[in-house]
């Protein structure tokens, strides 16, 4: 049974010409302990998907569909039950640790908050657990006292504190939304290693949200490619990187500085950006959302694209999918 099962998730905001769809029929599942990557350009709806799962969508959002965590449908749970579930069963790491952490509270307080809320630990046991968690994420005593404030730490150290907060109650699912965007490449690699290590050690499922296919290749067993509020391709990392089928996925790959690391046979003289931009939520049609930027579009693409199963665990929503190996070599 899936740990997380999202079905037909649709999120709209009021727009000038009626509801603007930021998510449109998003469906996917995450098995216990599985690492799933969600990849797409800025504005594709990755963060909205995460916020919908956390029950933290901005005011004004209308939500339809189902988000099941085990036996609970999160969209029908009352707020107190959702509140109890956040931190205890699902935790999230945000893009920018400086804005996600409270600047006027010590890191020890913030790591201990979830423990106080969800676990009946005495003060001494809680303080011990805070120390243990900070140690676990590479912030050992005495250098990193729980009495430090966020501004006394570097960006990478602050993201380690966020990971400690997320780990505090040993949730079943960790959602990491671009956790390394604000970090330099060396720190990025260390933080990604830490996330992989702690999730694997506790058999915690991971949803890694990123715009970078290289990060997906390093962290995910299964990949969801999002474009304009929809999932346009989905597959195991192995199958998808061996034969990406959606022209959008191929475009992302061609634009990724990590492409050669993912596939040493790739022949690509320089980075090729995808021309154009993601359509705004109010401008989206029912046809293929990528048609306006797609080199393979035909008049057929004004209709909703069919979902084609290419192989076990690999599917694409496209009228003209690429054949294996076509397009980027």
Residues that bind ligand ATP (CB under 6 A): 13, 22, 40, 42-48, 58, 60, 178, 211, 280-281
For the CB of residue 322, give the shortest distance to ligand ATP in the complex, in Å.
23
CA-to-CA distance for 252 and 243, rounded, in angstroms? 14
The count of other CB atoms within 10 Å of the CB of residue 103 is 9
Beta bridge partners of 38: 209, 224
Torsion of CA 186, 189, 190, 195, to 10 degrees: 160
For the CB of residue 285, give the shortest distance to ligand ATP in the complex, in Å.
15
The count of other CB atoms within 10 Å of the CB of residue 276 is 10
149 φ/ψ angles, rounded to the nearest 5 degrees:
-100, 155
Instruction: Kindly tell me which of 38 and 316 has the beta carbon lying closer to ligand ATP.
Output: 38
For the CB of residue 94, give the shortest distance to ligand ATP in the complex, in Å.
10
Q: Tokens 């730490």 label which residue?
A: 153
CA-to-CA distance for 56 and 44, rounded, in angstroms? 18
H-helix or E-strand spanning residue 329: none
For the CB of residue 313, give the shortest distance to ligand ATP in the complex, in Å.
23
CA-to-CA distance for 219 and 208, rounded, in angstroms? 8
Instruction: Kindly tell me which of 40 and 114 has the beta carbon lying closer to ligand ATP.
Output: 40
Question: What Å distances lie between residue 21 and 11, 39, 46, 288, CA to CA?
Answer: 6, 19, 13, 14
Instruction: Kindly tell me which of 48 and 213 has the beta carbon lying closer to ligand ATP.
Output: 48
Instruction: Kindly tell me which of 8 and 84 has the beta carbon lying closer to ligand ATP.
Output: 8
For the CB of residue 245, give the shortest distance to ligand ATP in the complex, in Å.
21
Instruction: Kindly tell me which of 110 and 159 has the beta carbon lying closer to ligand ATP.
Output: 159
The count of other CB atoms within 10 Å of the CB of residue 230 is 23
For the CB of residue 80, give the shortest distance to ligand ATP in the complex, in Å.
24
CA-to-CA distance for 34 and 307, rounded, in angstroms? 24
CB 10 within 8 A of CB 23: yes
Q: What 3-state class would DSSP assign to 303?
A: coil
Instruction: Kindly tell me which of 3 and 175 has the beta carbon lying closer to ligand ATP.
Output: 175
For the CB of residue 326, give the shortest distance to ligand ATP in the complex, in Å.
27
Instruction: Kindly tell me which of 43 and 156 has the beta carbon lying closer to ligand ATP.
Output: 43
């Amino acid at each position: 049974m899936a740990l997380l099962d999202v079905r037909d998730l649709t999120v709209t905001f009021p727009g000038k010409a009626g509801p603007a769809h930021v998510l449109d029929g998003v469906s996917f599942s995450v098995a216990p302990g599985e690492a799933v990557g969600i990849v797409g350009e800025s504005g594709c709806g990755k963060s909205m998907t995460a916020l919908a799962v956390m029950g933290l969508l901005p005011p004004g959002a209308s939500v339809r569909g189902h988000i099941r965590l085990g036996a609970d449908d999160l969209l029908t749970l009352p707020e107190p039950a959702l509140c109890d579930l956040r931190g205890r069963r699902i935790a999230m790491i945000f893009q920018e640790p400086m804005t996600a952490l409270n600047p006027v509270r010590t890191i020890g307080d913030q790591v201990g908050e979830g423990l106080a809320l969800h676990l009946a630990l005495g003060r001494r046991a809680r303080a011990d657990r805070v120390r243990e968690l900070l140690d676990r994420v590479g912030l050992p005593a005495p250098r990193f006292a729980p009495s430090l404030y966020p501004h006394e730490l570097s960006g990478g150290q602050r993201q380690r504190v966020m990971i400690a907060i997320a780990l505090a109650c040993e949730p079943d699912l960790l959602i990491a939304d671009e956790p390394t965007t604000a970090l330099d490449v060396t720190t990025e690699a260390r933080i990604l290693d830490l996330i992989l290590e702690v999730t694997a050690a506790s058999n915690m499922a991971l949803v890694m949200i990123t715009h970078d296919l290289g990060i997906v290749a390093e962290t995910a067993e299964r990949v969801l490619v999002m474009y304009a509020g929809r999932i346009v391709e989905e597959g195991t990392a192995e199958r998808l990187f061996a034969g990406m089928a959606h022209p959008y996925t191929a475009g992302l790959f061609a634009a990724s500085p990590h492409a050669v690391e993912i596939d040493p046979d790739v022949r690509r003289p320089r980075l090729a950006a995808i021309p154009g931009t993601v359509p705004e939520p109010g401008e989206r049609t029912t046809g293929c959302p990528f048609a306006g930027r797609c080199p393979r579009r035909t008049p057929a693409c004004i209709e909703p694209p069919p979902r084609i199963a290419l192989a076990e665990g690999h599917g694409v929503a496209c009228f003209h999918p690429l054949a294996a190996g076509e397009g980027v070599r």
